[in-house]
Amino acid sequence: MALPKRKTSKSKKGMRRSHQALRSHMLTACDNCGELRRAHRICPACGYYKGTQYRVKNGRSDEAG
């Protein structure tokens, strides 16, 4: 079984892990309602994305009885 020849230093370990940091979400303003939403996703407030409504907000309608 293979074994490392030398102990990995803190500096080397840190340089290797430098790309593993978590990034914050990219937030943009919704074109329809102005609320903040994640980029390339449907707006959670109004359900619009790129000018098209994809999700109707939950609520009671008069037709439901």
pLDDT at 13 (0 to 100):
97
8 Å CB contact between 55 and 49: no
- How would you label 29-45 residue by residue, b for 16+ Cβ within 10 Å and e otherwise? ebebeeeebeeeebbee
Identify the residue whose tokens are 């037709």.
Answer: 63
pTM, full prediction: 0.53
pLDDT at 61 (0 to 100):
46
Summarize pLDDT for 34-47 with one digit per residue, the tens.
999 999 999 999 99
Summarize pLDDT for 8-60 with one digit per residue, the tens.
999 999 999 999 999 999 999 999 999 999 999 999 999 999 989 988 876 55
pLDDT at 11 (0 to 100):
98
